[in-house]
Amino acid sequence: MAINRWVTDLPADAIAQLSGLVAPSRERVAAILRDATPQQVDAATAMLSCESQQIPEPRAEQSALVDTAAAAEDSAEAASTSVADEWDFAAGPEPTKPQVNPADFMDEKLRGFSFAPFAHQVAAPCGLVKVEVEEVTDAGTQVLVYWDEVPSAASFVLYRLVGNVGEGPLSPEEGTTLVHTRGRAFREVIPPTVGMRHYTVWAYMGDSPRSLLGVQPELVGEEALGLPPRNITLVEDKNGTVTGSWALPQGIDDIEVYARVSTAVTPLYDPSHRVTSGVGLRNFTHTVAKRGKTYDFQLFPTFEFRGSRRVGEGSEIAQVQISANIQKVVMKEAVRLPSSAGDRISLAWDVPSMGEVRVYLSEQAPQADLALEAVEERHILDDDALGSTKWVHTFDFDEIDQYQPGEEHRTVVQWPGEWSQVFCVPVHVVGDSFQVGDYQVVNRVEKIKDTTLHERVSSQLVTFDWPKGASVVHVRSRSSHIDHYLVEEDYRRQGGVRLQLENLGDTVELEPRFYYGGTAVTGETTTIEYEGLWTYRYRIRTTIDNGNYLLGVWLWRDGVEDEHPPSFVLVFNRDRLPLHAGDGERLRTVWSPRSEPDEPAPKMVPERLEASWDAAEASGTYWFTTMEPSQHGYVRVFLADAERRRPNEPQRVVVDDDSRIFEVDPGGIR
């Protein structure tokens, strides 16, 4: 028996494993041939499981044209009915591919002659037969049939190629004789109506051409070829169900249908793609798993040959575009989830009936007309919002079995980078169609950072980095009852937030806000504690005592009595008004009205200060220093350096009581 054409290319180690199987089954063969096609698995199983060949009795109408009794007797002595599983299909060389040469054809020369009747005794085949499909045209399938050369010492060898539609008996007299040839190849065009072609090759060997007519032929080998249906018609009913139909070719008793998405990477003939139900001899009905995609369909004929099932050639791949049940997905929820590890966004939408949902995160809204109808992907890529973002999350509900259409789906995604506003746009994708859905916008406002309060005595100025994402900042104070909103433009123009806070201390709250769709999105409130400002004032008066110019200094705290006042210094500068406590000479002063004056001291250290000039003047408490007639210059009162700021206490500042420049000269102070 000839080796199945799908088995001849197997590696030696696989053939060795197959030969060792005692009870071969398709599953065990498939386990050995992991990378084999279905045809190879079926062919190997058939060869291993082949049963004894039954040779039919000779037909009564055949007549002998030559004396064949002796030839039949001789043939019977050497031949016996063979059992197929005794034939080692792993043995024997790979046949070389000879060329078809019409000059080798002997049919014209044999016209009018007949061979001896066949004795129906067949030995094991002595070679291999191969059939290769070369071309498929409207006229039919062109195949090349070639076989091994028969080892023989005879002077003349003639080959007879016999073809059958369907499985034929092992007899050169059954079927159609295609050619008598001295060569080892023949080319045939099989009509489109034929689905299974069975070839047998017989060799006639003798010492002379005429002796060939009287000998019994020897079986070189046989092979069967299955051809698929043609002109397959595919129709989809717009609900994802495909109906296929075709004309069944002769000799085929079953059809296998394979279907896959066109973009799948696994071969179409992979067992996972086989349609296991709804398949008949002339049609099939199959509901696809994914709508909106292009599907490939391919038919493989199967047939019985020598007691085993074989798979034939695959049909041309037929394609059908499955209709898309595409819809607008509505983003029901998009909520910011603040976290110290990084903000996230909680999303929710209803699961569509098929396909996948891609959630695009963008800093701007997509074009409005993009959502009017389903579009191709290129329109998505061309959109400024959707085509430019790298933040795309895909949810393929064809692969998520636990969700049912219409069921709410929730997920959490990472907030994109430093964005302050995120458009969460759902896009339903079915096959090559994209439908932009209704989106949600989620915002966040950055916390106000790097705040600084600048004291201006009569007012305060608060500066900070304008928070990203904020349209306004709500400014509030607790004690001074400030409550207003500041936009960024005014903030830039003013150089900050100008306030007049309570001198005894106050609390300032800065809350960034963003308004979208009439709803306020607030950021984290920043609080500034203002300790307050204690203002001290002074006046300088002069008098003459025994020819000396006495310069007197009266001090008070503006608006509030001070039971624990700070220390002060009186600074003299000959050239200009002193700018700070170290900008000149510190004059030594004496506190009055003590009954016995102290020694002059470099600081003025009051025990208590009144709340106004009138009260200070009425108290009779002041400090004085003696000016020499030759002295002239400028004087000013400052806080002692250590008294300017104490921890957790208000800031202290000395303010000149009027705008006069206190100039000292021999004529007095003016």
C-alpha–C-alpha distance, residues 465 and 84, integer Å:
92
Which residues are registered as beta bridge partners of 669?
Answer: 664
Q: Estimate to the nearest angstrom the gap between the alpha carbon of 60 and the chain centroid.
A: 74
In the numeric block, which tokens belong to residue 409?
A: 């789906």
Same domain, 199 and 266: no
Same domain, 578 and 471: no
- Tell me, what's the pLDDT at 57? 41
C-alpha–C-alpha distance, residues 315 and 259, integer Å:
12
Same domain, 70 and 217: yes
In the numeric block, which tokens belong to residue 547?
A: 């020819």
SS3 assignment, position 42: helix
Per-residue pLDDT band at 503 (split at 50, 70, 90): confident
- Which of 321, 356, 373 is the last residue before a domain boundary? 321
Instruction: For 425-446, give one letter per residue: b (16+ CB within 10 A) or e.
Output: bbbbbbbebbbbbebbebbbbb
Query: Domain range for residue 145?
Result: 51-226
Q: Estimate to the nearest angstrom the gap between the alpha carbon of 189 and the chain centroid.
A: 50
Instruction: For 286-312, give one letter per residue: b (16+ CB within 10 A) or e.
Output: bebebbbbebbbbbbbbbbbbebbbbb
Model-level pTM? 0.51
What's the one-letter identity of residue 382? Answer: D
The domain that holds 419 is classified in CATH as 2.60.40
C-alpha–C-alpha distance, residues 146 and 136, integer Å:
19
Is 42 a member of any domain?
no
Q: In the predicted model, is pLDDT for residue 647 greater than 80?
A: no
- Tell me, what's the pLDDT at 46? 61
Same domain, 563 and 659: yes
SS3 assignment, position 81: coil
C-alpha–C-alpha distance, residues 389 and 380, integer Å:
11
In the numeric block, which tokens belong to residue 31?
A: 């386990």
C-alpha–C-alpha distance, residues 654 and 638, integer Å:
6
Per-residue pLDDT band at 152 (split at 50, 70, 90): confident
> Per mean pLDDT, which range of 31-40, 60-69, 181-190, 234-243 is the poorest?
60-69
506, 479 contact by CB (below 8 A): yes
Is 40 a member of any domain?
no
Q: Are strands 460-465 and 344-350 parallel, antiparallel or unpaired?
A: unpaired
Give CA torsion, residues 227, 231, 237, 241, to 10 deg.
10
Is 43 a member of any domain?
no
Is 45 a member of any domain?
no
- Which of 443, 474, 509 is the last residue before a domain boundary? 443
Q: Phi-psi bin for 120: left (phi > 0), alpha (psi -120 to 50), beta?
A: left
Mean pLDDT value across residues 525-542: 92
Q: Estimate to the nearest angstrom the gap between the alpha carbon of 4 and the chain centroid.
A: 45
**Distances, alpha carbon 595 to alpha carbons 220, 460, 591, 625, 630, in Å:** 150, 44, 10, 17, 29
- What is the tens place of the pLDDT at every residue in 574-593? 888 899 999 999 999 999 87
Q: Compute the Cα dihedral for 624, 625, 631, 636 and give only its sign.
A: negative
C-alpha–C-alpha distance, residues 483 and 329, integer Å:
43
* Helix, strand, coil tally for the chain in percent (to 5): 10, 40, 50
Residue with tokens 């007299």: 173
> Per mean pLDDT, which range of 83-92, 319-328, 373-382 is the poorest?
83-92
Q: Phi-psi bin for 137: left (phi > 0), alpha (psi -120 to 50), beta?
A: beta
C-alpha–C-alpha distance, residues 157 and 204, integer Å:
6
337, 343 contact by CB (below 8 A): yes
536, 556 contact by CB (below 8 A): yes
Same domain, 204 and 117: yes
- Tell me, what's the pLDDT at 319? 96
Is 524 a member of any domain?
yes
Is 656 a member of any domain?
yes
C-alpha–C-alpha distance, residues 326 and 209, integer Å:
76
- Which of 321, 348, 374 is the last residue before a domain boundary? 321
In the numeric block, which tokens belong to residue 130?
A: 């191969």
How does DSSP classify residue 330?
B
> Per mean pLDDT, which range of 35-44, 149-158, 425-434 is the poorest?
35-44
In the numeric block, which tokens belong to residue 640?
A: 């002692």
Is 84 a member of any domain?
yes
**Distances, alpha carbon 309 to alpha carbons 56, 253, 302, 305, in Å:** 22, 10, 7, 6
Q: Compute the Cα dihedral for 590, 591, 593, 594 and give only its sign.
A: negative
- Tell me, what's the pLDDT at 93? 55
CA atoms within 13 A on the CB side of 292: 20
Q: In the predicted model, is pLDDT for residue 11 greater than 80?
A: no
Which residues are registered as beta bridge partners of 455?
Answer: 460
Same domain, 439 and 342: yes
Same domain, 56 and 186: yes
Count of residues making up the chain:
670
544, 556 contact by CB (below 8 A): no
Q: In the predicted model, is pLDDT for residue 428 greater than 90?
A: yes
Mean pLDDT value across residues 604-625: 93
Same domain, 436 and 518: no
Q: In the predicted model, is pLDDT for residue 660 greater than 50?
A: no
The domain that holds 259 is classified in CATH as 2.60.40.10
SS3 assignment, position 393: strand
- Tell me, what's the pLDDT at 96? 61
- Tell me, what's the pLDDT at 12? 63
- Tell me, what's the pLDDT at 39? 62
Looking at the chain, the whole-number percentage of residues with pLDDT higher than 90 is 63
In the numeric block, which tokens belong to residue 299?
A: 């038919």
Give the other-Cβ count within 10 Å of 458's Cβ.
9
Same domain, 548 and 516: no
Is-cis flag, bond preceding 593, omega within 30? yes
Per-residue pLDDT band at 124 (split at 50, 70, 90): confident
393, 359 contact by CB (below 8 A): yes
C-alpha–C-alpha distance, residues 87 and 52, integer Å:
11
Same domain, 59 and 202: yes
Show Cβ contacts of residue 279 under 8 Å, excluding neighbours closer than 6 positions: 255, 256, 257
Is 222 a member of any domain?
yes
> Per mean pLDDT, which range of 314-328, 333-347, 636-650 is the poorest?
636-650
Per-residue pLDDT band at 70 (split at 50, 70, 90): very low
SS3 assignment, position 409: strand
C-alpha–C-alpha distance, residues 457 and 428, integer Å:
63
- Tell me, what's the pLDDT at 482? 94
Same domain, 70 and 203: yes
Mean pLDDT of the chain, nearest integer: 85
116, 64 contact by CB (below 8 A): yes
Domain count, the chain: 5
Same domain, 436 and 476: no
C-alpha–C-alpha distance, residues 120 and 81, integer Å:
9
Q: In the predicted model, is pLDDT for residue 81 greater than 80?
A: no
14, 29 contact by CB (below 8 A): no
